Amino acid sequence: MMPKFVLAWITSVHEHSKTMQTGGHVVFVRHPERGWEIPGGHLNAGESPEDALIREVLEETGLEVEIMSWNKEYYPSGWVAHAVTKNTPQPSSWTVEDEKVEEIAWWDSVPPVIMWTEQEFIDLDNWHASIR
């Protein structure tokens, strides 16, 4: 069954390197009403989950990602992808030209939440740790 929406748990391919990294380890976007969340969105008509995820991430973060695996169980009508980017985590935030995204940043802890729950991010981080 196809999902209605897709979300991306984005890490850097640099996270496993032996060099010291700055910034966090997961990309979050700040929505004007919903607050911090992971990037993603709904599928367009005829769009595959993979294409939707890559499109949404590029629109919301400006990052190009590669999908590593899917969690199709966590949300009843949505899939979460573990995706990687070659971009190195940055200590500062950035913006893109998307009215639904006020700020993008790497986080190494759960950001302040409004619509999401802290437990969702902890669960997804635990899932990511279990597949590494």
Q: Domain-by-domain residue ranges, the chain?
A: 5-131
- pLDDT of amino acid 13: 81
Residue with tokens 């902890």: 122
CA-only gyration radius of the chain, Å: 14
Q: What is the pTM of this model?
A: 0.90
* CA–CA gap between residue 132 and residue 127 (Å, rounded): 9
Give the whole-angstrom CA distance, residue 26 versus residue 11. 5
CATH fold, domain 5-131, is: Nucleoside Triphosphate Pyrophosphohydrolase (3.90.79)
Q: Nearest Cα to 71, choosing from 16, 3, 122, 13? A: 3
Nearest CA to 120 out of 58, 61, 55, 35 is that of 35
pLDDT at 14 over 80: no
SS3 112: coil
Q: Which residue has the higher pLDDT, 48 or 92?
A: 48
Report angle CA 120, 53, 9 to the nearest 5 degrees: 35
How much is the pLDDT for 20? Answer: 38
pLDDT band (50, 70, 90) for residue 33: very high
Q: Taking residues 60-65, what's their average pLDDT?
A: 97
Contact 105, 93 (CB under 8 A): yes
